[in-house]
């Protein structure tokens, strides 16, 4: 077993010990609770419950946030760092609601692995499956936590089968639950031959761990009722026959997921999962970029923006660009080159997201996430380097599935509206298209709820009441091709042409038929539903 951070002696030790991951789950499976326990064991907070309490205090500060709370969705993502054992963990929070899938997708470009949390009574749910598919696109390693084992849950084999079948991934048990529901006593740690007993009395206490010499060890009988020992022996024997053994390489390649069983609220199984992420999860991975890949152990610093969040603190009109470090040893005050504009930027006040409070970051290594406050220079997809013209690739923008026209309640305020919309476009919260003909803006989103979110944010943050109205268009496609072909195409289709916030040409229509026709009639023009952000 790999029990130290030394599995990659070729990497700088600070890089080798980093584990950057996100949690994917269906709402209610226990992501928040698990996050709290990670932070608790990581020493980042004194008492579990603080994450939620703080989050709620912050949320009540505005109506928009109130809406977020009412709907039970989290619009804002953040990053948290903590240490546990030899490892430094960077947990990047993914927005949980299906309406925000694009944001989630981009968040997943900033991590090296994902922890999939499922509810033991419910198994694989719709949102879990969607998020899993996104992880699969990048072959992200996935570690699974089956939560709520303190309650009546499904049969262990059934849960494992369901994951294997619905997600087409090999599942290997890292632990095995003993007993069910009220009779649940704990887990057998298969990887370390230990008995982990759950303490129902104190939810924040770490489970008792007893070293066991195989299943015939008499110590087992001191802690587990005889009927459950028999059942455990039988099930483990079956598991050994029917399920694959842990293959660390297959885990790293994303073909196999180890599963731990536990109860986040009872702090049970959480440390084993954390050890698992450390021992079997990947260290910071190379980053695809053009004209060349970036290796995490390069001495020169580089990083890329995967998320921009505006108005995190309503008192300050700042934006924070979340940057995933791809290489090097970053130190506060460093001057980096903003590759898109070729301008130098002094990064004097970066923030590291330790627990739920912002803290100034003094240094960061490949794998870390830092927040850079700025006034709008930093956009999603931007690369920062020590001078080399590298551009990180693979951060897409998706064509919106819903389009509406946005108008200011007061027509005199059109300029203000443009400013507000451009800000949200840069944040990645919406696509904004300015039609070549006519006035107004066409706003595109992935989920209908986002129109409401946008309307309340524009009113709240810009004091500007707005209306969203049905648009004559329903689809948007980016137009690519050589200039001559594109010019000819746009001249012949003016009524359908708009520009996005980067100035790129977009074709708007309400008919798939139109898109098919253009592909036929203009072989030199490519209509695309995604665009690389860079
Ligand atoms: P999220 O929506 O995935 O962030 O889920 P939460 O962490 O907010 O949990 C949803 C609900 O499940 C809350 O009421 C939690 O208290 C509860 N919960 C979380 N973990 C457990 C667990 O291990 N056992 C039980 N019984 N309930 C849990």
The CATH number given to whatever domain includes residue 330 is 3.40.50.300
Same structural domain for residues 360 and 424?
Answer: no
Any domain includes 76: yes
For every residue of 39-102, DSSP letters joined together read HHHTTS-SSTTHHHHHHHHHHTTSHHHHHHHHTT------EEEEEETTEEEEEEPPP-SGGGHH
Number of domains within the chain: 3
The residue range of the domain holding 421 is 398-530
Any domain includes 9: no
pLDDT of the residue at 387: 96
Any domain includes 2: no
Any domain includes 203: yes
Same structural domain for residues 385 and 484?
Answer: no
Which of 357, 390, 423 is where one domain is finished? Answer: 390
Report the nearest-CA residue for atom 26 of ligand 1: 148
Ligand 1 binding pocket includes 55 (Cβ within 6 Å) = no
Any domain includes 15: no
Question: How much distance in Å is there from the Cα of 26 to the middle of ligand 1?
Answer: 11
Q: Which residues contact 408 (CB under 8 A, 6 or more apart)?
A: 414, 416, 417, 464, 465, 466
Q: How far apart are the C-alpha atoms of 522 and 72, rounded to whole Å?
A: 46
Best of 24, 28, 152 for a ligand 1 pocket test (most atoms within 8 Å of beta carbon): 28
Same structural domain for residues 40 and 93?
Answer: yes
Q: How far apart are the C-alpha atoms of 397 and 462, rounded to whole Å?
A: 26
Q: Is 508 helix (H, G, I), strand (E, B) or coil?
A: strand
pLDDT of the residue at 469: 92
pLDDT of the residue at 45: 53
CA angle 195–199–205, rounded 5-degree value: 105
Which of 214, 246, 278 is where one domain is finished? Answer: 278
pLDDT of the residue at 134: 84
Same structural domain for residues 305 and 345?
Answer: yes
Q: How far apart are the C-alpha atoms of 84 and 38, rounded to whole Å?
A: 9
pLDDT of the residue at 44: 61
Question: How much distance in Å is there from the Cα of 51 to the middle of ligand 1?
Answer: 14
Best of 22, 24, 27, 30 for a ligand 1 pocket test (most atoms within 8 Å of beta carbon): 30
Any domain includes 255: yes
Same structural domain for residues 251 and 353?
Answer: no
Give the tokens for residue 514: 């139109």
Q: How far apart are the C-alpha atoms of 271 and 144, rounded to whole Å?
A: 13
Ligand 1 binding pocket includes 25 (Cβ within 6 Å) = yes
The CATH number given to whatever domain includes residue 407 is 3.30.70.3280
Ligand 1 binding pocket includes 461 (Cβ within 6 Å) = no
Same structural domain for residues 406 and 386?
Answer: no
Same structural domain for residues 173 and 69?
Answer: yes
297-323 tens-digit pLDDT: 999 999 999 988 776 555 555 678 899
pLDDT of the residue at 453: 84
Same structural domain for residues 256 and 330?
Answer: no
Q: Are 16 and 7 in contact (CB under 8 A)?
A: yes
Q: How far apart are the C-alpha atoms of 145 and 124, rounded to whole Å?
A: 12
Any domain includes 1: no
Q: Is 94 annotated as a binding residue?
A: yes
Question: How much distance in Å is there from the Cα of 531 to the middle of ligand 1?
Answer: 37
Which of 390, 424, 439 is where one domain is finished? Answer: 390
Question: How much distance in Å is there from the Cα of 484 to the middle of ligand 1?
Answer: 57
Q: Is 150 annotated as a binding residue?
A: yes
Low-confidence stretches of the chain (pLDDT beneath 50) = 1-4, 46-77, 355-358
The interface predicted TM-score of the complex, written ipTM, equals: 0.99
Give the tokens for residue 278: 């450390």
Q: Which of 290, 370, 292, 293 is nearest to 336 (CA)?
A: 370
Same structural domain for residues 520 and 408?
Answer: yes
Q: Is 26 annotated as a binding residue?
A: yes
Same structural domain for residues 435 and 342?
Answer: no
Ligand 1 binding pocket includes 29 (Cβ within 6 Å) = yes
Largest CA distance in the chain: 83
Same structural domain for residues 375 and 232?
Answer: no
Q: Which residues contact 160 (CB under 8 A, 6 or more apart)?
A: 171, 173, 243, 259
Report the DSSP beta bridge partners of residue 457: none
Ligand 1 binding pocket includes 263 (Cβ within 6 Å) = yes
Q: Which residues contact 172 (CB under 8 A, 6 or more apart)?
A: 243, 244, 245, 246, 247, 256, 257, 258, 259
pLDDT of the residue at 312: 56
Same structural domain for residues 227 and 115?
Answer: yes
pLDDT of the residue at 67: 42
State pTM to two decimals. 0.82
Cis ω for the linkage preceding 291 (within 30 of 0): yes
Best of 33, 55, 73, 204 for a ligand 1 pocket test (most atoms within 8 Å of beta carbon): 33
pLDDT of the residue at 426: 81
């Amino acid at each position: 077993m790999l029990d130290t951070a030394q599995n990659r002696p070729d990497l700088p030790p600070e890089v080798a010990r980093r584990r950057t991951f996100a949690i994917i789950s269906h709402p209610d499976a226990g992501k928040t609770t698990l996050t709290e326990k990670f932070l608790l064991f990581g020493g980042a907070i004194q008492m579990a419950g603080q994450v939620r309490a703080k989050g709620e205090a912050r949320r009540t500060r505005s109506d928009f946030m109130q809406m977020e709370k009412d709907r039970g969705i989290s619009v804002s993502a953040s990053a948290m760092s903590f240490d546990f054992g030899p490892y430094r963990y960077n947990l990047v929070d993914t927005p949980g609601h299906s309406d925000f899938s694009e944001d989630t997708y981009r968040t997943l470009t900033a991590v090296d692995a994902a922890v999939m949390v499922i509810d033991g009574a419910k198994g694989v749910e719709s949102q879990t499956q969607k998020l899993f598919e996104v992880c699969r696109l990048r072959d992200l390693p996935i570690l699974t936590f089956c939560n709520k084992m303190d309650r009546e849950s499904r049969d262990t084999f059934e849960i494992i089968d369901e994951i294997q079948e619905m997600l087409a991934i090999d599942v290997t048990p890292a632990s095995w639950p003993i007993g069910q529901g009220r009779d649940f006593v704990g887990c057998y740690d298969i990887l370390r031959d230990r008995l982990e007993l759950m303490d129902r009395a104190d939810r924040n206490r770490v489970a008792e761990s007893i070293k066991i010499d195989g299943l015939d060890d008499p110590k087992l009988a001191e802690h587990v009722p005889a009927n459950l020992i028999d059942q455990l022996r039988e099930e483990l024997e079956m598991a050994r026959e029917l399920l694959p053994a842990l293959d660390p390489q297959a885990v790293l390649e994303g073909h196999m997921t180890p599963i731990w069983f536990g109860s986040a609220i009872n702090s049970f199984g959480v440390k084993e999962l954390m050890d698992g992420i450390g021992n079997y999860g990947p260290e910071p991975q190379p980053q695809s970029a053009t004209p060349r890949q970036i290796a995490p152990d390069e001495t020169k610093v580089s990083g890329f923006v995967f998320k921009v969040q505006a108005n995190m603190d309503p008192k300050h009109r700042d934006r924070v660009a979340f940057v995933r470090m791809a290489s090097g040893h970053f130190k506060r005050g460093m001057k980096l080159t903003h590759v898109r504009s070729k301008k130098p930027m002094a990064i004097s006040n970066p923030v590291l997201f330790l627990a739920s409070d912002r803290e100034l970051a003094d240094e960061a290594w490949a794998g870390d996430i830092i927040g850079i406050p700025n006034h709008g220079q930093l956009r999603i997809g931007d690369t920062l380097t020590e001078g080399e013209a590298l551009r990180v690739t693979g951060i897409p923008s998706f064509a919106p599935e819903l389009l509406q026209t946005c108008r200011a309640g007061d027509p005199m305020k059109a300029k203000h509206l443009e400013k507000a919309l451009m800000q949200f476009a840069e944040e990645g919260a919406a696509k904004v298209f300015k039609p070549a003909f006519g006035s107004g803006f066409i706003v595109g989103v992935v989920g209908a709820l986002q129109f409401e979110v946008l309307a309340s944010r524009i009113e709240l943050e810009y004091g500007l009441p707005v209306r969203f109205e049905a648009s004559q268009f329903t689809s948007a496609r980016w137009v690519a091709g050589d200039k001559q072909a594109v010019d000819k195409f746009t001249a012949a289709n003016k009524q359908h042409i708009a520009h996005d916030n980067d100035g790129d040409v977009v074709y708007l229509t309400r008919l798939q038929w139109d898109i098919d026709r253009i592909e036929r009639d203009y072989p030199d023009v490519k209509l695309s539903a995604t665009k690389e952000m860079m």
